[in-house]
Structure 1
Amino acid sequence: PFGIAPTGGLGFFRPGADLMLAQAARDANVPFIMSGASTASIEDLARTAPDHGWYQLYAARDKKISEDMIRRAKDAGLSTLVLTVDVPVHSNRERNRRNGYSRPLNLPLKTKLEALLHPGWIAEYVRTGGQPLLPNWAPYASNGKSVETVAELVAAQTTAPLTWDDVKRFRDLWPRKFVLKGIMHPDDARRCAALGVDGIMVSNHGARQLDRAPSPIEVLPAINEAVGDKVTLMLDSGVRRGADIMAAFCLGAKFVFVGRWTLYGVAAGGLAGAKQALDIMRNEVDLSMGQMGVPNLSVLGADYLMWDRPEDLQRNRRP
């Protein structure tokens, strides 16, 4: 009941990590969402996991760039386009600044010393060409294809102001399954349903955009009440254990995506680590179902949860 959420810059963690996750997802028969900030291309994804790859679109200020990316995903045969709508401006990521993850890359001495303790990682990094590029954006960089010029292009283009007219335009351009990622309010969910969006991913961007944003699990019940079965309801952000997936299903989710979990696996162990991360999560879901006596996830509802107040349990009890 879960897939791999989009996480950007995977090549910084391990060269080839994007396609390792895609292969792990393919072998586990779950979807993998390639990030709009991926270090592998849309075409690479289609060759690696043609039936399991989705593409996350960060809308560009230049509409022609967005339209061409949609065309490439369509021509590659990908089944689902995921439009991220929760990055209207760049967020204040203090952890990134402390770690030197900036433009240009300026790693502190402690990070460089840490890297020296892992000569195997350094050798692989050098063998694969060093600092990774963002190949999905490289064709649109007018003044060369260096890492820096592509990074500048992405930074300039990916704070595009989105409107509901843009959502409709993307819906019209994309002929297959269309998902909006970053919906956190019932009114927005209703607008999605009215525009013919196939799925909603309730997400706060891994809590990296707005530090006062609620967690998706908190707003999920209200969104579920607003749209019901009109769209496929999915959840992303904050999922660390199989029991988190069970709780999301109790509150109305039909599918859950995990990001950091599989990122830890692929960073530590490559393809084998990615597969192990998926196996651990799947085993935790199976164990939770067994402990709860649940034959399948479709029977889960709010009455399987403990509530702070007795009236909450009564209000959410199934008839």
Structure 2
Amino acid sequence: MDGVVNIEDLRKLAKKRLPKIAYDFIEGGTDDEVGLVTNEQAFRKARIVPRYLVDVSVRDQSTTLFGRTYSSVIGIAPTGLAGLFRRGADLMLAEAARDANVPFIMSGSSTGSIEALGKLAPDHGWYQLYSAKDQAISEDMIKRAGDAGLKTLVFTVDVPEGSNRERNARNGWGRPLKLTWKTKFEALRHPAWMMEWMKHGTPYFDNWAKYAGDGADAEKIADLVGYQNRAPMTWKHVERYRELWKGNFVLKGIMHPDDAIRAHSLGVDGLMVSNHGARQLDNAPSPLEVLPAINSAVGDKMTLMLDGGVRRGLDALIAICMGAKFVFVGRPTLYGVTAGGITGAKMALNIFRREIDLSMAQMGAPKISDLGPQFLMWKDEEDLRRNRR
């Protein structure tokens, strides 16, 4: 890990450790992968106008979210199958988040359990719910999350069907795996990962084991996850899960202001504006592009969060200026934990923290609460006058 200075360095190390089939699962999008570029370029297009002669000798990037104060505005988004890239990665990410005092969202396709998360990081762990075909499973998972002491449930709504991930198809990814000789040979060039795979095999989806029947092995459980996670979702599910869950209830994947308004009417506490890391609908806008409209619709009524395309600390601050209360990252911390285990996960969070701190100083914003549209480049004189108020 020596010499790592940014998230791109961690990405390169993760790529070096993983065989192509695993790395492409992290990095890939859908169809022509236009959305991957769209997500990152949205931040590149944004312009921040600094304000000088401000005392920034002391900076504070802490922020309060759902009544809890975290040390920074960056949390860890849910990333499925993390245990494929490094054994035990889900709980490593949870531990890193706990130690950094930021939230961690356990994926609905995690290889760690809700109960383990509750013991390890009850004040920092959130749980992502994918609606199962068998509603009894979803309702039991909600109960388990509450029993484990978790305070926030994140219902992900942007996967109505599996998407066309062509990198995965070319690599033989699927159930069952259909690996080509080329894929197998290439994997041999990554001995550390290969030894781990040979020792442990298919990642074990702990949260789903109880629903697969007694004695079910990892392969059978993986088949169950693949089947159950292709369930129809409607607003009736939102109503039902809101009724069952007594803590903070967040919808992840909302991209339209009208959907945001409807979510508020059903008692949803927060929204994570997200396009699933550009892994579902290729020509969708980036979350950052739709954030201002959603903020105008419900920003004074709900807690708005964002994920997708964040690679620098300044990206997080841009999102805050546009209306987000908090920002989550998926691939960056996955690069970190893949490259260096818990040390790498902590390094990813520290990189963001340092970049946020320096960017706040350069902008002239000592506190996160100082951020807002007044730091964004104005479109015309009327826009400039409006942001002065």
What corresponds to 1:198 in structure 2? 269
Report whether the alignment pairs 1:310 with 2:384.
no
Counterpart mapping for 1:181-196 below 5 A: 181-196=252-267
How high is the TM-score relative to the length of structure 1? 0.94
Taking structure 1 as reference, are residues 312 and 161 closer, same or farther at Cα in structure 2, changes over 3 Å only?
farther
CA distance in 1, matches of 2:183, 2:361: 43
Taking structure 1 as reference, are residues 118 and 229 closer, same or farther at Cα in structure 2, changes over 3 Å only?
same
How high is the TM-score relative to the length of structure 2? 0.78
What corresponds to 2:304 in structure 1? 233
SS of 2:310 mapped into structure 1: coil
CA distance in 1, matches of 2:382, 2:288: 16
What corresponds to 1:300 in structure 2? 371
Report whether the alignment pairs 1:208 with 2:279.
yes
**1:108-140: CA deviations, max 9, x gaps?**
44443343233333333444x222121211211
CA distance in 2, matches of 1:151, 1:120: 23
**4+ long deviations beyond 4 Å:** none
Report whether the alignment pairs 1:158 with 2:268.
no
Report whether the alignment pairs 1:4 with 2:76.
yes
Q: Percent identity?
A: 67
- Contact (CA 8 Å) 1:200, 1:233: kept in 2 or not? yes
Structure 2 counterpart of 1:104, from 176, 189, 209: 176
SS of 1:36 mapped into structure 2: coil
Structure 1 counterpart of 2:152, from 59, 64, 80: 80
Q: Unaligned regions of 5+ residues in structure 1, if any? A: none
Q: Give the superposition deviation at 1:315.
A: 7.0
Q: Give the superposition deviation at 1:229.
A: 2.2
- Contact (CA 8 Å) 1:58, 1:83: kept in 2 or not? yes
**1:295-317: CA deviations, max 9, x gaps?**
1121212231225x426743751
Report whether the alignment pairs 1:279 with 2:350.
yes
Q: Give the superposition deviation at 1:156.
A: 1.9
Structure 2 counterpart of 1:256, from 327, 339, 364: 327
Taking structure 1 as reference, are residues 310 and 83 closer, same or farther at Cα in structure 2, changes over 3 Å only?
same
- Contact (CA 8 Å) 1:89, 1:159: kept in 2 or not? yes
CA distance in 1, matches of 2:280, 2:202: 25
- Contact (CA 8 Å) 2:85, 2:193: kept in 1 or not? no
SS of 2:207 mapped into structure 1: coil
118-127 or 164-173, which deviates more: 118-127
CA distance in 2, matches of 1:23, 1:83: 22
- Contact (CA 8 Å) 2:202, 2:219: kept in 1 or not? no
CA distance in 2, matches of 1:108, 1:274: 32
SS of 2:206 mapped into structure 1: coil
Q: Give the superposition deviation at 1:18.
A: 0.5
What code does the residue aligned with 2:376 have?
L
Report whether the alignment pairs 1:93 with 2:165.
yes
SS of 1:12 mapped into structure 2: helix
Structure 2 counterpart of 1:117, from 159, 180, 189: 189
What code does the residue aligned with 1:102 have?
G
- Contact (CA 8 Å) 1:302, 1:313: kept in 2 or not? no
Q: CA RMSD in A?
A: 1.7
SS of 1:270 mapped into structure 2: helix
CA distance in 1, matches of 2:314, 2:180: 37
What code does the residue aligned with 2:217 have?
S
- Contact (CA 8 Å) 1:46, 1:77: kept in 2 or not? yes
- Contact (CA 8 Å) 2:103, 2:125: kept in 1 or not? yes
Structure 2 counterpart of 1:131, from 202, 206, 215: 202
Q: Unaligned regions of 5+ residues in structure 2, if any? A: 1-72
SS of 1:159 mapped into structure 2: coil
Taking structure 1 as reference, are residues 288 and 148 closer, same or farther at Cα in structure 2, changes over 3 Å only?
same
SS of 2:387 mapped into structure 1: coil
Taking structure 1 as reference, are residues 123 and 313 closer, same or farther at Cα in structure 2, changes over 3 Å only?
same
Taking structure 1 as reference, are residues 223 and 158 closer, same or farther at Cα in structure 2, changes over 3 Å only?
same
Structure 2 counterpart of 1:267, from 335, 338, 363: 338
**1:281-307: CA deviations, max 9, x gaps?**
111111100111111121212231225
- Contact (CA 8 Å) 1:301, 1:318: kept in 2 or not? no
SS of 1:256 mapped into structure 2: strand
CA distance in 2, matches of 1:86, 1:209: 8
